[in-house]
Amino acid sequence: MSILSGKNILLGISAGIAAYKTATLVRLFIKAGAHVKVVMTPSAKDFVTPLTLSTLSKHPVHTTFVDNADEDLWNNHVELGLWADFFIVAPATANTLSKMANGVCDNLLLATYLSAKCPVYFAPAMDLDMYKHPTTKQSFEKLKSFGNSIIPATSGELASGLVGEGRMAEPEDIVTFIENDILDKLPLRGNKVLITAGPTYEALDPVRFIGNHSSGKMGFEIAKASANLGAEVYLITGPTNQTLKHSLINVISVTSAEEMYQEAHKYFNQTNIAILAAAVADYRPKQVASQKIKKNDKTLVLELEKTKDILASLGDIKSNQILVGFALETENELENAKAKLKKKNLNLIVLNSLKDKGAGFKTETNKVTIIDNKNKVTEYQLKSKAEVANDLLKEIIKQLDA
């Protein structure tokens, strides 16, 4: 999954021959999972049709403040600017760039640009002499001083027949540039995060197992939030119905506590953050029957043995990693969580209680208390598990910055 997935992208198209490439650009943004709307200068319609772009984006394309079809409705440039997570002007002609740099507002695209609150990217496209002209260079520098990002033009054959700089970057390169630029600015860029999620199943025989009610949702939300902040994620998950596709997330599926132990140790030294959210079985059957156990007796006695403590074992060998554990308690919650934090050499522990309505297994929400290794206790209200994941990562980022 691209970092652009779920994002709102506003594409501004000005009147240059490179506008024909924007049909491909819209398709690539859609393929990346983004929502796309298009605003054009009136003259841009001479190079690519609004019908093509509206069909690809599945949204009306706007070129003027008032549509001829309904003169009572106007295209609200403020709403368009506020809707966008990212505004990309491509192609950005010398004329449009100059107007952007100097606050000229004589069409809908420029009015939207002046209203936008989001990051703005522009991909210049013009002939060689125009590209090298001092006023164009001045526009580039002025726009960059506003915080706008330039997607550099490339060299090649231009519409005039000249060969040189000024050719708009190819659509694939524009998407890659934006993705990399976003990632480079994210707070967890360059970090590798190990996350465990879900339950473990401990076999009794080839048919039956001992398990628990963990859905894995909390761990999956932490993995998604970590990747969205730029981290490379190793997600080790027990059996669960949760699914996740993201270019920065590597999913490793396991079944038992022993398998999770082995995989966690395999990846731990490669990571600098480890968040163990899985509900790992504390005990497993000492003997696993090779055939299905028959229902012959009124009672069945099982001898159980302890599983390896994954969290404690990582706490014993950690060097500079930030190690985070979870504690699901039913009594003496805070005291038990603090004891676990210290005993297992953790940086943070996330406490939740089965007594709290809406917390725990098989819910869309969670209510947690986060305790750090300086015994600072932070209580949070009932939130969605996605919001809890973001709260936890904020605390981890504070530890990284400390």
Structure tokens belonging to residue 384: 């969605």
Residue 53 CA to residue 33 CA, distance in Å, equals: 17
Query: Which H/E stretch holds residue 305?
Result: strand 304-306
3-state helix, strand, coil in the chain (%, to 5): 35, 25, 40
C-alpha 217/C-alpha 363 separation (Å) is 8
Measure the CA–CA gap between 167 and 250, rounded to whole angstroms: 37
* Amino acid code (one letter) for 271: T
* DSSP label at residue 59: S
212 noted as active-site residue:
yes
Which is the catalytic residue, given 8, 76, 95, 212? 212
Structural element, H or E, at residue 142: helix 134-145
Listing DSSP states for 183-243 in one string gives: HHTSTTTT-EEEEEESB--EESSSS-EE-----SHHHHHHHHHHHHTT-EEEEEE-S-S--
| Range 244-252, long-range pairs (CB < 8 A, 24+ positions) | 244/220, 245/1, 246/1, 246/5, 247/1, 247/2, 247/3, 248/3, 249/1, 249/223, 249/224
Q: Are the C-beta atoms of residues 56 and 133 closer than 8 Å to each other?
A: no
- Count of Cβ atoms closer than 10 Å to residue 33 Cβ: 14
Q: Which of 35, 36, 13 is nearest to 122 (CA)?
A: 13
Encoding tokens for residue 108? 């809908």
Length of the chain: 402
Q: Which residues are catalytic?
A: 212
